[in-house]
Amino acid sequence: MPITDPNQQYFKDGGWGWNGTAWVKLGVVWGYSDRYAERFDDTAVGASDITQTFATVPAGEVWVITGFSAYAKQTNVTFVYMIANCGVFPLELVVNPYTTAYVGLVAPSPIILKAGDFLRVIWYGCILGDTVRSAANGYKMKVT
């Protein structure tokens, strides 16, 4: 039973649906809004730990991360820590010693991020001249 009269109570914003016997308020409406892709390429880093912090999910969006990876061109890096910062705690996705150049570390996916969440990669034990890279991709969903 379609709603066609804009004067009907149920017409507003398309927030109502027919369940076969009555009009009922629908749940949260959301949908795909854009792709997400971000990459860090830190070349010739200094002798220190390197932190690569990805963008923070804005209010009104949920991001579905389908790929999250990191690799180094050298084997000098001693440890890699890949996290999803979800609220007040980091969700550890990959905690791994880095032993082979050009071998990527891949976090399990999908990773669901809500407003305020973000991804981060921390490289421990870099030496002068190392090159470290990380990338994430997926899609954004608008929440109404």
Contacts of 63 (CB under 8 A, 6+ apart): 36, 57, 112, 113, 117, 138, 139, 140, 141
Q: What are the extents of the domains in the chain?
A: 29-143
Q: pLDDT value at position 46?
A: 83
Class in CATH terms, 29-143: mainly beta
pLDDT range class, residue 3, cuts 50, 70, 90: low
The contacts of residue 33 (CB under 8 Å, 6+ apart) are 61, 140, 141, 142
pTM for the whole structure: 0.80
∠ CA(108), CA(123), CA(81), 5° rounding?
A: 30
pLDDT in tens, 4-27: 565 666 556 566 777 788 777 777
The per-residue pLDDT for 89 is 82
pLDDT digits (tens, 9 = 90+) for 79-112: 999 999 998 888 999 998 888 888 889 999 999 9
